[in-house]
Amino acid sequence: MIINNAKLRGKQGLHSIECENGRFVSIIEQDGLVIPLESSLDAKMNLLSAPFVEPHIHLDAVFTVGEPNWNLSGTLFEGIERWAERKPMLTSEDVQRRVLKAVQLLVENGVQHIRTHVDITDPELVALKAIVALKEKLSAYIDLQIVAFPQEGILSFPNGKQLMEKHLNKVLMSSVVFLILNILENMGLSRCDGSSTLQKSMES
């Protein structure tokens, strides 16, 4: 594939870029506007750049504002409380519908690499299973990394320790990049409790 009439960051003029097997194989400066072949793409003097990266998003929670209640204080901690109210309402269809809508917006704005945090303080892992199931379907459009994220903590959450062990032993976790510890979210726990959380996850 050849892309004609493209502007490149840090370079003057227009360029033609040849792509083969997903890689750029040549970049040639043009003398001026060229008429693209039928098999080529015309960038129409727009900027051609590498895809953008979204390194931190919570796809399981997108488009849930006000459901069932609003975060009136606008604080992180009330936001976590509002999410805890929304979580029992999750279904696979609900999660996938919202994720697909968000991914479409990201792709339309040039994002190709996404790292999402997904809450695992849910005994049924509804959101995690739904997003893992979408990962392969979306692979033609985006590179999706999934972070297993204990939003309500591990030791501060009822049966959190047991849930973490269960999740780590599941086969589906092979599709998840890594487990990030939400020690700061262990509200009410001491420094020693936070250390115990870290130690337990490292042992696992």
DSSP string across 60-104: GGTT-TTSS---SS--HHHHHHHHHHHGGG--HHHHHHHHHHHHH
10 and 76: one domain?
A: no
Give CA–CA dist 53/50, Å, rounded. 10
The reported pLDDT for the residue numbered 160 is: 75
Is the distance from CB of 180 to CB of 147 less than 8 angstroms?
Answer: yes
The reported pLDDT for the residue numbered 190 is: 47
Please state, rounded to an integer, the average pLDDT across all residues of the chain.
Answer: 84
Higher pLDDT among residues 148 and 20, named by residue: 20
Cβ neighbour number for residue 189 with a 10 Å cutoff? 18
Residue among 154, 176, 174, 156 at smallest CA distance from 165: 154
Is the distance from CB of 92 to CB of 60 less than 8 angstroms?
Answer: no
- How many structural domains is the chain composed of? 2
With a cut of 70, say whether residue 170 has pLDDT above it.
no
Q: What is the CATH number of the domain that holds 12?
A: 2.30.40.10
The reported pLDDT for the residue numbered 167 is: 65
Determine the 3-state secondary structure of 147 from DSSP: strand
42 and 64: one domain?
A: no
136 and 186: one domain?
A: yes
197 and 122: one domain?
A: yes
The reported pLDDT for the residue numbered 155 is: 74
Q: What is the CATH number of the domain that holds 111?
A: 3.20.20.140
Give CA–CA dist 85/69, Å, rounded. 8
174-200 residue pLDDT tens: 455 544 444 444 444 444 444 455 455
CA atoms within 13 A on the CB side of 139: 7
Percent of the chain scoring above 70 in pLDDT = 80
For the ranges 20-24, 81-85, 104-108, 181-185, the lowest mean pLDDT is seen at: 181-185
Domain span holding position 39:
2-48
Give CA–CA dist 189/84, Å, rounded. 19
Give Cβ neighbours of residue 152 (< 8 Å, ≥ 6 apart): 80, 84, 119, 121, 160, 182, 185
Which of 33, 48, 63 corresponds to the end of one domain? 48
The reported pLDDT for the residue numbered 121 is: 87
Mean pLDDT of 35-60: 94
99 and 154: one domain?
A: yes
Mean pLDDT of 117-129: 90
The reported pLDDT for the residue numbered 175 is: 57
193 and 97: one domain?
A: yes
10 and 85: one domain?
A: no
Mean pLDDT of 150-158: 77
For the ranges 95-109, 129-143, 164-178, the lowest mean pLDDT is seen at: 164-178
Enter the pTM of the model. Answer: 0.75
Determine the 3-state secondary structure of 23 from DSSP: strand
16 and 87: one domain?
A: no
